[in-house]
């Protein structure tokens, strides 16, 4: 195969199509700032989309649960090795991505004899100078940085629509409660805006998935967590409590 570049390119194109088709069935994961930190949220049929990686770093994962867990453990190990060999202040997302996980993902994706990772990740960080930063990491190792928040979504139309809404919404001025409610509404509207006629016909032939917030709250779980710049304890990461989730549900579903 390596003696025939066209066959290798064709195999890479096929892998892109395969992964995108698998990811298109996943639910969007949003990462946005609020006045005291960063919020990660998504609706999920089972917990396992939002995790802590290090003191100031959290991730939200879209894709196959086993692949998300493998990359979570890889990032966790890399962060602790970096912190041990250097210092906790040296553990930054830009270093973990640029010198660690991104090259490994790219190599894995281009080795066509190996199964590709079915993932797309968003990562949030409170930098050592207290700035909020967001990153999106793709299955092929490509990553981007965002200041106003970002989204992981397998559907390109959904991702683009939600990204535009995030960028024009002043999340950084919102309280946690306002940010969560607004993110939920964007999640709901983004799914509606991004659905093409072909997707609607396909979904009508397959088991239904929640499209409205009312259906999502009734069928699935709202998983959300924050990194807080104002936390009085050492751990800046925490999952939202049941009470906070219930308040959001009461405000959104009437």
Rounded to two decimals, the pTM is 0.89
| Structural domain contains residue 44 | yes
SS3 254: coil
pLDDT value, residue 204: 47
Token digits of residue 34:
């609020």
Determine contact, residues 197/189, Cβ cutoff 8 Å. no
pLDDT value, residue 9: 84
Residue 195's pLDDT band, with cuts at 50, 70 and 90, is low
Cα–Cα distances (Å) from 193 to 21, 45, 82, 157, 159, in that order, read 19, 22, 42, 8, 10
Which pLDDT tens digit goes with each residue over 97-113? 998 999 999 999 999 88
d(Cα 115, Cα 19) in Å, to the nearest integer? 10
| Structural domain contains residue 15 | no
| Structural domain contains residue 4 | no
| Structural domain contains residue 7 | no
Q: Return the ∠ at Cα 66 (arms to 98 and 81), rounded to 5°.
A: 40
Q: How many domains does the chain have?
A: 1
pLDDT value, residue 209: 76
| Structural domain contains residue 19 | no
Residue 48's pLDDT band, with cuts at 50, 70 and 90, is confident
Which pLDDT tens digit goes with each residue over 105-151? 999 999 988 899 999 999 999 988 889 999 999 999 999 999 999 99
| Structural domain contains residue 103 | yes
The average confidence (pLDDT) of the chain is: 89
Asked if residue 191 has pLDDT above 60, the reply is: yes
**Residues of the domain holding 219:** 27-252
| Structural domain contains residue 99 | yes
Determine contact, residues 54/116, Cβ cutoff 8 Å. no
| Structural domain contains residue 2 | no
d(Cα 168, Cα 164) in Å, to the nearest integer? 6
Question: Angle formed by the axes of helices 102-110 and 5-23, to 10°?
Answer: 120
Asked if residue 235 has pLDDT above 80, the reply is: no
SS3 156: helix
CATH (domain of 187) = 3.60.20.10
């Amino acid at each position: 195969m390596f003696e025939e570049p066209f066959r290798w390119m064709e195999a890479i194109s096929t892998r892109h199509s395969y992964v995108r088709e698998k990811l298109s069935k996943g639910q969007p994961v949003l990462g946005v700032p609020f006045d005291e930190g960063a919020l990660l949220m998504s609706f999920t049929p089972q917990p396992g989309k939002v995790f802590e990686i290090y003191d100031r770093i959290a991730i939200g994962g879209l894709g196959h649960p086993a692949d998300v867990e493998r990359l979570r453990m890889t990032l966790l190990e890399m962060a602790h090795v970096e912190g041990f060999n250097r210092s906790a202040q040296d553990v930054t997302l830009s270093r973990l991505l640029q010198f660690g996980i991104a090259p490994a993902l790219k190599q894995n994706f281009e080795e066509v004899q190996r199964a590709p990772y079915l993932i797309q990740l968003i990562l949030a960080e409170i930098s050592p100078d207290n700035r909020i930063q967001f990153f999106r990491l793709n299955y092929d190792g490509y990553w981007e940085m965002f200041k106003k928040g970002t989204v992981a979504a397998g559907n390109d139309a959904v991702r683009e629509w939600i990204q535009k809404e995030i960028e024009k919404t002043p999340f950084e001025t919102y309280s946690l409660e306002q940010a969560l409610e607004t993110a939920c509404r964007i999640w709901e509207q983004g799914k509606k805006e991004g659905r093409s006629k072909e997707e609607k016909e396909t979904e009508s032939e397959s088991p239904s998935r929640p499209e409205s917030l009312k259906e999502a709250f009734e069928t699935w779980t709202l998983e959300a967590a924050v990194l807080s710049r104002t936390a009085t304890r050492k751990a800046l990461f925490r999952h939202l409590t049941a009470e906070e989730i219930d308040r959001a549900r009461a405000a959104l579903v009437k």
